[in-house]
Each structure stands twice: as structure tokens, then as C-alpha cells.
Structure 1
Amino acid sequence: MPNRLAHSTSPYLLQHRDNPVDWQEWGPEAFEEARRRDVPVLLSVGYAACHWCHVMAHESFEDEDVARAVNADFVAVKVDREERPDIDAVYMAATTALTGHGGWPMTCFLTPDGDPFFAGTYFPRPQFLQLLSGVTSAWSDQRDRVLDSGAHIAERLRELSAPVTGHPLTAEVLETAVERLRGQFDHAAAGFGGAPKFPPSMVLEFLLRHHARTGSADALSMARATCAAMARGGMYDQLGGGFARYSVDARWVVPHFEKMLYDNAQLLRVHTHLWRATGDPLARRVALETSEFLLRDLRTAEGGFASALDADTDGVEGLTYAWTPAQLVEVLGEDDGRRAADLLSVTRAGTFEHGTSTLQLLEDPDDPEWWAATRSTLLAARRGRPQPGRDDKVVTSWNGLAVAALAETGSILGEPSLVAAAEACAEFVVSTHLVDGRLRRTSREGAVGAAVGVADDYGNLAEGLLALHQATGAARWLQVARDLLDTATERFAAQDGGFHDTSDDAEQLFTRPRSAADNAEPSGQSALAGALLTCAALTGDPAMRDRADAALAAAGDVAARDPRFGGWALAVAEAAVAGPLQVAVVGAGPEADALLEVVRRSPSPGLVLAHGEPDAPGVPLLEQRPLVEGRPAAYVCRGFVCDAPVTDVEGLSAALR
């Protein structure tokens, strides 16, 4: 019989509905049951695309002996970290504090009051059975010690969430951050640090903005080399576009195969901005192919974007994506198969597992037309293989990242269909996830979930809507973004000027989570800082600018100390130092379009754009900005001091320089 997860809206929880473990969702009922039965809570946290979550599920949670031990002596609670990032954050902090590292699956043992007293990550079945027995014995025989330990851990973590001293991210701090990144840069394989190597999306954005502001050749070189290494290696899907979660090796050859929306949205934006800075054709190709991947494989019927494709296919990692030389010959024929194997580094020994290889494109093909046809043929053949599962829940925050990336890519690369896709996504998320003025975290198949939005939902969605406003000129998106930021300021603000991850009226966990570090995606604090900064420039609201500066200062200590974990805060700080550079283009038709193209090709990190008819309602930058002698015109203002309007491309280019 299915357990109590059978009616969940989370794809991850639904993967466990037929486990013999009597799982239930997080909620007061679970902890009340633990108090009534006088047993600990076993908390297991993961996500649908997680390879090791699947391994532990197959080894332990599908095992009858494990299930008997869990059901007899624990209340078992399963949480989707993507649906409840607040729960994940506080118990990951406990796991890291207790073990020195974290990851998923996360395994925690809690008192019936929710205090963690033991934590870890993946446990093989024999060790997990031993652990269950040991925890049961400790709960029975050393109860006072267990309760004291849980209370001590909870109190220590509450102390760590205390207000911080602000650290302004000045131009000097930004320069120092680039120097520190240079010291951590892998000059042989690009990227930062060693294996496993993750895509440093926000750090790359920071480096590109720093180059745009200062002309730093080092910053551009590190960004360009890292983008090229990722795009040419096995971490990038050479047939279908899009990036995997990370590379297990330092040379970007073998990926961990799950493909996440948040990675691809951020890397799409980075490659678009790299093309804008350099005209690099590889960056343009990767941006367009990644856009195609998002629209083809992750877009939902409602217009939003699904969270991820799984790491595994039929329980085998990489089954869909890896190739042997013989498989290439089978699809392409003898000559073309061998040629493709040489081009894609598919060897007889294999670069992955069991004689298979990931696909790399280390050099551009000498015959682009042949490669285009070959790529299409191989992709069609791959579609005939078993496919990875799709986590089809729509996460507000990550869809905000996708809206920003598609809107900017479409407008910068001249692909209006991408802007239209961004607008359709925004329409769905705003109409479905915004309930009575407050955001919900997720939806699935058009039905909104119960989990409330967290800070990065507000920040990243506002960021996306502001990018969409600048791409389309539509005043609606500016207003919705402004409303979201007003709500976030009221509900998430911390005493030190930063932001908590959860609202003041959200469920109270043993500590109120707050992250100053950017990890795989912007923290709520830096996401809100960035959106506030952009909105302040678009509206001329000085209070918003003050809030953005305060949030940046609150994130400044982490960003200055370890730039790899402050990438978005540093990128936002580049915009703060460089701007505001406000550009208003009034009018319509070919002359206005030519002016808009010049603005969109400008890489200035502090630039914001408004466009439309003079005095268009709801767009402050267009107020009292008339046409000039009946012609479209551009108004350029720096720090609220404006130049005379220009009507020609050359004059606007000079003004922006």
C-alpha cells in the first residue's frame, strides 16, 4: 500500500510513496505523533534529480528490514529541499556543524521538538541499520544526554544567525576579489579549485561586469576561458544543449548528469553577456542552444519551466548521454561514425564508465554543415533511448532566473521568440504563484502548492520581471516587481539591513534561516539586493537604493572573504559602483529600434533601460521625455544627471562610452 506521501505534489516525495517506510510530509502532525509515541523523528531531505538520493532509496528505503526498524522506533519525515528550502537550510547548517560537510540525501535525527541531535548524508544499508539501532539505544538509555545535545546544537545555530556588521562592497573590495579569484583559478583547465568542479555562474557574471566597468583583461580572460572549457567539455550537452550540474573531474570531462533549471538559466545569461562583451561565436552558439534546451525539454504546458532532468535513466547514471564508437557507427555509418568519434573524443577505452564516453567538442568542426546534420541525426537517435525523468514542479525563484535570462538573451541576440517565452513564463508564475499578494514556492501541473515563498523567490522573480520590463517596455512588469520588493522589505528584513530567508509570519523552525553566501544560485539576500538596485534605478526611488546598499553591506563580509561564495553579491556591487546609468528611448519604428540596439549592446553593469512612447503611464523614466523634432530620441542620465537627448546611433554610442 502507498504510504502517506501518495497525495503529495512533490515529484521527489512521490518517488517514495511506495516505500515500505511509513513516510509522511513535514508538519505539526508528525511531531505530535513523535511526542505521543515518545520516539525521535527521522528527517530525510533530498530532491528528485539527486543520484545518491536514488541510491539510498533503493538500498535502504525500499528494504523491508530497514522499514521495520524505522517504522517501529521513529516517525519518518521526507522533505523535498527544493520545495522547502527553509527546512533544508536550517538542518543543513546542523549537518555541516556536526560533520564538517553537507550534501544530499541529508539524514537527520530530531527530538519531538525539532532539535537536531545527530546528522549525516548518505549511509549505505549496513551502516544505516547500525545507525538506527544506535540512535534507538541512545534515545532509550541516554535520553537526557540526547536532549541536551539537541538543545545545545539548536542554540549554537541560533547564535550564528545573529545580526552581522556591515561590510560595504567598494571598488577596492571588488578589485581585491578579482585578485583572490586569480589565485584560485585553474590555469590548466579553467574554473576555480579542483574536482568536483561546479559551474561558477555568478562569479563569471561578476568577472564580466568587472571587465565592463574597469577594462580588466584578467577578469575577462578568466570568464572567457571558463565558459569555453565548460562548453567544450562533457559537462555541456553537445547534442541537446544545456549544462549538467557539475563535473566530477577537474577537466570538465565527466558530468554529474542531472540538468537543473537554475544552472542553465544563469549560464544562459552569462554566455549572452560574454558574447556581448567579445562577439565570441562559441558564446552565442551556446546561448542559443541552451535556450533551445530550456524550451524543448523543461518548458511545461502552462508556460513555466520544470525544475530538472534526473541524473539517472532507469537507475543508470548517464545511460541516455554516453556513447561508444560502435554506437556512433551504428547510427551514422562507418565513415561518419569514425569521424564523429574523433571529433567528440569518443574512444574505445571510454572516458566515462563501461567503455562509454561523454561527448566533448574540443575544437570547432572543419565542416559546420556536416556537423549540423550529424548532430541532428545523433540527437534524434538519442531520443529513441530511455530518457531521464523530469521533475516537473515549477519553482518561483528558478523561473525568475529563467525569465531574466530569456528576456535578455532574446533582446540582445535579436530573438523575439525568447522574449515571448519569458513573457509567457512570467504570466503563468504571476497569475498562479502570487496568491493574495504573497508568493508560493511551487506549482505542479498548474496547481499551486502550499509552501510559502522564501526570500530568493521574491528576489529572483523581481529580477526576472525587471529584465522583462526592460526587454518589452511593458509597465506591468515594473509594477509587479515593485510590489514584490515592497512585500519582501516588509516581511523579510533583518535588523542589520540584510534579509532573512523566511518571512516574519512563516513557520517558525528552531532558528530563522538566513544565508549570506551565494551557492548554486543567488542567496535571498543578494537576490533582493540586486532587484532593489535595479528597481531603484528604474523608478528613481532613493529608499530602494538605500535598502539595496544595506543588503549588499550585510552580504559583504562573506563576499570579500571568499569571492567564490559571493558571486552574485559581487556582481550586484559592480552595478552599484558603476551606476545608475539610466537610458530612456522614446518613440517607435526603425529609428527607435536602432537606438535600442545600441543600448542593449552596452555592457555597463549599472545600465537600466526604459522605452516606449513619451510619458507612457507607469514608467517613471519616460516622464517628460518628448520626441525631438518628431523623431525618436534617447535620454542618458548618470546618477540622475542627464545629458541632452540624442537622435542618432553615433551620438548615443558616444554618450554610452
Structure 2
Amino acid sequence: MTDNRLGSAVSPYLRQHADNPVDWREWGPEAFAEARERDVPVLVSVGYATCHWCHVMARESFSDPGIGELLRQDFVAVKVDREERPDVDASLMASASAFTQQLGWPLTTFLTPDGHVFFAGTYFPPSPVGQVPAFRQILAAVLDAWTERRHEVDANASAIAAAIRQGAEADRTARGGADGGGDEPRLPSVDDVRAVVDQLAQAEDTTYGGFGGAPKFPSAPLLEFLSDVAADGDARASALLERSLHAIRASELTDADGGVFRYATKRDWSVPHYERMLYDNAGLLAVAGAEQARGIADFLRDTLRRADGGFVAAQDSESTIDGRRVEGEWYRLPLDERGRLDPPPLDDQVLTGWNGLAIRGLAIAGARHGDAEMIELARGAADAIVAGHLTDGHVSVRSSTPRGASTAAPTIEDVGLLAEGLLELALVTGELPYADVARTLVDDGLAGRFDTDPVLAAAGTATGEQPQTAMRSGTVALAAAAATLAALTGDESYRAAAVSLVADRAVTGTERPLGHADALGVALALQRPSREVVVVASDPDDPIRAAARGARRPGTVVATVTPTQAADWSAAGFTLFESRGRLDPAGYVCHDRVCALPARSVDELTAQLSA
């Protein structure tokens, strides 16, 4: 008999484990209090609902009654959804790096009742495979260390926790300017940022495209950095970006319905790892060409979109065919044959931050390619998130499902990504309410209004948001949104905050760009002369609106509004729009908010933009 407590969980990943013969608990102070009372270690297993190897370990080990009994007797077992609790995942990942550099999910960690990691790994098989021990062997070794060498366990756990605290303190010091203290941060120079393209060119796989060997990831933040440098006039970056996008578009990584898989297991982009994440597809939207972007938008609309307009987190790699759970088989069928089988299930979490990323990607792609439906999809997601996850303009819910809202606290990922997405949508549509909410979110983010997880707070192991390779960082998104607000309002404190948020990450990125490419792009924009473009036209099809599409580049903010909208923005404190509604149509090209005479035609606007 088990005391598994996951049956009422909101997270779809936790609910997948509700029938395990394991006494699973959810993450929280209660689980650690139980471990303290029983004086046993805590097993924390981290994964997510569409993770193939998480499914495998669940079938092999967590469905084994014998392992369930071992865990019941000698451990407190805790399940964590990394999508629901990215702060917990980040902390445990940082600790796990002391034991392995092959980090990923499932993440298997062992903690003291004080919340300090003393051993960690990833997937463990039911029987030894090469140098990888069986999960039972791991449990036995951990239990032996706990009972026979407790002083070593405590010493190791304390040392790792101390290293985590030091790293977090260094990060806080680097961000001191955004918090109102510390030395003035320094951005890398434009030349240093552009020199990163040389590193990427050397890392390019000139045979198959992309970067490095197997496995191959789409790495949307890296591609967006190349897009930024290309828009800044670098032809090498433009060519490298196009080759990379073509490799993704023409390979097995892109499904027949337009959606993009998480990564390819082979160097030639073949044999995908078949799960499809919202963040990969949303990130690629910001850089993809018209055909590729349209395919991704179709996938978001047809597969991940809920009835209310919000997007769920992912689609699984596995499906059930002839009574068996198999990976990838459904995706390998032609599109016209898939309908006779049940599709792979969805991770039905709606995540605030990930939806912000989708709103941004759809708004950028819709404006760039003149695709009104993409903008409508962005608007639908924005309305759903604002209505369901915000209270009085502040993020109150990180994750929700049809079963309710998670108790996990919102993070900087939610605030930063949603703020940037809403602001991008506001600039494309001219709709002030999105900008008003975005400004509130930026203010919240800069004020650091986030609740630290109580277990991490007590353990002193909260790391804050870590650099990421697969999706845009909430910290970087917050900086980008703040920089945009500086251009729209004239409030230079927003720009100073943006510099503080990205300076240290960008400097690191000049040497190690993979995890910091997004910061490099924002740093480039902050170093470039500020240019603001406002197009005023009542007719949504006026060609002067289309003429502004190509103006987007680092350091440039582009807004399209009607005369009435311009007056509304001005009245709300967005001073860039003052007196902009008098002429219709008209384009205003400004440098550091000093504007040239209004352009009344496409030719005049084009000439000013090219000057």
C-alpha cells in the first residue's frame, strides 16, 4: 500500500506518477519536515510531462513495487515538474553539476532534510549499462553513505550549498545597478559582440548546417542573435543564419505539419527526439522566413492552442499505437494517415512565460511577413493570459491547467517574457492596454517582486534564473522590454536598468555565447544609436505601414498606430507619441527622440529610414 499524494496535483507530469507504487510527495516544506522527523534522505526526481526518458525511468523503476517499497522505507520521495517550478530545477541543476556535466531530465537528486544536495545524476537504468549503475545500486549506495558515512554526506552537502550561495551572491552583485546599487555595469563593445560571429562561424557544421555535432538543437536564441547582427549590417551573420534556418527547415527536425521537434539525435539533423516544445517553436518564429514561420504558426494554432487562445506547453514524443507506448511512430506517418490514430498527448499546462514568448514570436513574424492571422493568434494568447494569470496587472499565476492553477510562485521568466511579448504586440497593433500591462510588469520585475521558494530560501540555495541555451531568458526579456520603455517614455532609468540586467551576461557571452546569445543581442541594441519610428495611419492596409516593416534592427523601436491610438499612448505617459496624431498617414523617424519632418509617403519614409 502506498501513500502517493500526486492524484490531486495540477501538474500533468506529477499526475502521470499518481499511480506509481511510490509514496510520492509534492515539493514543499512538508516533505522536508517529514524527512527531518524520520532522519532519512530526500529523493527529488525532476522531469516534465513530454520527456521520453522520464517516461522510460517511470516504467522501468518507479512502476516497480520493490523499488517503491525501498523508497517508502528509507527515503522521502518528491516529484518536481521542471516546467511548474523552474526555480527548483535551476537550483538542483546547479548542485547536480558537481557530480555530472551530462545534465538533463530526468534529474535524480538526493538531498538532506535541510534541502542540500549530496548526490545527483540523471537517468538510471534498472540494470547496469556500461559504467552507468542500476537505480537500485544508486539507492543502496546513497543509503550506505547516509547511515555509515554521515559526516561525509553532511560535509559534501554543505560545501555544494555554499558554492551555490556564492554564485547567487555574485549574480546579485553583477545586477546591482538594476537593484539601485553597485558599480556602474559595462556592456561589451559593439566590436566584441560582432566578433562572436567569428566564433560561431568556426563552430558551424559546414556539411549539415547548424553548430557542433550530435545532438543538434535549433537553439533559437543563438539564431536570433545572428538575426540581430545581420540586421546591424553583417553579411556573414546573415548568411550563417540563412544556412542554419534552411538546415532546420529541410531536415527531419521539422515535421510535415510545420512544427519543430526539440532536437535531432544525429549530426545530419535526422532521428529527432520527437517531443515538440512551445518555447522552441515560439523562439524560431522571431527569425524564420515567411514559409517556415507560417508552418510553425499553423502548428501552434492547430495543436497547442486552447479554446481560450492560450497555448499549452508541449506535445509528447510518445503515442499509444496497438496498445503500446512508442516514441516517434505517429510522427513518422504521412499526415493523411495520422488521423486514424490517437495523436501523442499534450502537456496541457499553460505557462505564463512561455505564452509571452509565443506572443512575441507571433507578433514579430506577423508584422514582418504581413500575416494578420499570426497577430490575431498573439492577441488571443495575450488576452487569455491577462485574463487568467494576472490580477490587477500583476502576474499571480505561473502555471494553470483545466484542473486549476498551480501554487508555484511566478518567476522572472513569467514577468520578463510576458512583458516583452505584450509590448511587442502593443507596438504592432497600436493597442495601448497591452503596453500598460507590460509597463506594470517591467516595474514589478525591476523591483524584484518575486517570492523565493520557501525550501530554497531556508536552504540558502536559490540560484535565480540561470543562462539558457534553448529559450530566451526572462532576465534578458525584462531588459529588452525596459529598453523599449525607455524609448517610448523618455525615462532613462529604464535604459539604465536594462544595462544592469544584461551587462554581466553579455560580457560572459563574448567568450561563451551558447548560453548568453540573447543577452548579446540586447547588449548590441543598447550600444547602438537609439532610433524610434512611429507610423500613424487610420487605414490598416495603408502602404506606409508596410514600409516600416523593414525598419526593425538593434536599437530601433517601431510602432504603428492610428491617430486616436497615438493620442491615447501620449495621454498614458508614452511621450514619444505626443502630437503624432495630427497627420494621417504620416511616418516619424526619430533619433534619440529628436524627429525629422513627418514623411507623408512611402518614398519619403523609405528615404528617411535609409539615411
Q: TM-score, normalised by structure 1?
A: 0.85
Following superposition, the deviation at residue 510 of structure 1 comes to 3.0
Q: Does structure 2 retain, via aligned residues, the 8 Å contact 1:432–1:446?
A: no
1:421 maps to 2:377: yes
Q: Which of 557, 565, 586 is equivalent to 1:608?
A: 557
1:256-405 paired onto structure 2 within 5 Å: 256-271=273-288, 283-314=289-320, 315-323=325-333, 378-405=334-361
SS of 1:99's equivalent? coil
Q: Name the CA distance, whole Å, in 2 between partners of 1:612 and 1:577.
A: 31
CA deviation vs aligned residue, 1:421-448 (integer Å, no higher than 9, x gap): 2111111111211135343211112832
1:177-326 paired onto structure 2 within 5 Å: 177-213=196-232, 215-237=233-255, 239-271=256-288, 283-314=289-320, 315-323=325-333
Q: Does structure 2 retain, via aligned residues, the 8 Å contact 1:517–1:558?
A: no
1:648 maps to 2:580: no
Aligned to 1:169: 188
1:593 maps to 2:594: no
SS of 1:241's equivalent? coil
**Structure 2 portions without partners, runs of 5+:** 128-133, 175-184
1:574 maps to 2:524: yes
Following superposition, the deviation at residue 503 of structure 1 comes to 4.5
Q: Name the CA distance, whole Å, in 1 between partners of 2:338 and 2:55.
A: 23
Q: Which of 554, 568, 575 is equivalent to 1:620?
A: 575
1:506-521 paired onto structure 2 within 5 Å: 508=457, 509-515=459-465, 517-521=467-471
Between stretches 285-294 and 532-541, larger displacement belongs to 532-541
Q: Does structure 2 retain, via aligned residues, the 8 Å contact 1:401–1:461?
A: yes
- Percent sequence identity is 42
Aligned to 2:494: 544
Q: May I ask how many residue pairs the two structures share in their alignment?
A: 578
Q: Name the CA distance, whole Å, in 1 between partners of 2:187 and 2:388.
A: 37
Following superposition, the deviation at residue 515 of structure 1 comes to 4.0
1:579/1:594 CA distance change after superposition, 3 Å: farther
Letter matched to residue 549 of structure 2: R
Q: Name the CA distance, whole Å, in 2 between partners of 1:405 and 1:268.
A: 5
Q: Name the CA distance, whole Å, in 1 between partners of 2:326 and 2:3.
A: 25
Letter matched to residue 622 of structure 1: F
CA deviation vs aligned residue, 1:92-136 (integer Å, no higher than 9, x gap): 011112223311100011101101101000001231111111211
Q: Name the CA distance, whole Å, in 2 between partners of 1:305 and 1:514.
A: 25
Q: Does structure 2 retain, via aligned residues, the 8 Å contact 1:235–1:252?
A: yes
Following superposition, the deviation at residue 318 of structure 1 comes to 0.7
Following superposition, the deviation at residue 302 of structure 1 comes to 2.1
Q: Does structure 2 retain, via aligned residues, the 8 Å contact 1:244–1:256?
A: yes
Following superposition, the deviation at residue 453 of structure 1 comes to 1.1
SS of 1:646's equivalent? coil
Over the aligned positions, Cα root-mean-square deviation in angstroms equals 1.8
1:458 maps to 2:468: no
Q: Name the CA distance, whole Å, in 2 between partners of 1:585 and 1:100.
A: 50
Between stretches 611-620 and 215-224, larger displacement belongs to 611-620
1:160/1:392 CA distance change after superposition, 3 Å: same
Q: Does structure 2 retain, via aligned residues, the 8 Å contact 1:95–1:101?
A: no
1:399-548 paired onto structure 2 within 5 Å: 399-435=355-391, 437-445=394-402, 447-491=404-448, 503=451, 508=457, 509-515=459-465, 517-548=467-498
Q: Does structure 1 retain, via aligned residues, the 8 Å contact 2:28–2:454?
A: no
1:534/1:516 CA distance change after superposition, 3 Å: farther
Between stretches 157-166 and 102-111, larger displacement belongs to 157-166
Q: Name the CA distance, whole Å, in 2 between partners of 1:543 and 1:506.
A: 32
1:586/1:462 CA distance change after superposition, 3 Å: same
Q: Name the CA distance, whole Å, in 1 between partners of 2:558 and 2:542.
A: 13
Between stretches 296-305 and 606-615, larger displacement belongs to 606-615
Q: Name the CA distance, whole Å, in 1 between partners of 2:212 and 2:551.
A: 32
Q: Does structure 2 retain, via aligned residues, the 8 Å contact 1:269–1:405?
A: yes
Following superposition, the deviation at residue 606 of structure 1 comes to 2.3
Q: Does structure 1 retain, via aligned residues, the 8 Å contact 2:409–2:453?
A: no
Q: Name the CA distance, whole Å, in 1 between partners of 2:536 and 2:426.
A: 15
Q: Does structure 1 retain, via aligned residues, the 8 Å contact 2:90–2:466?
A: no
**Structure 1 portions without partners, runs of 5+:** 272-282, 324-377, 493-501
Letter matched to residue 173 of structure 1: D
Q: Name the CA distance, whole Å, in 2 between partners of 1:159 and 1:541.
A: 34
Q: TM-score, normalised by structure 2?
A: 0.91
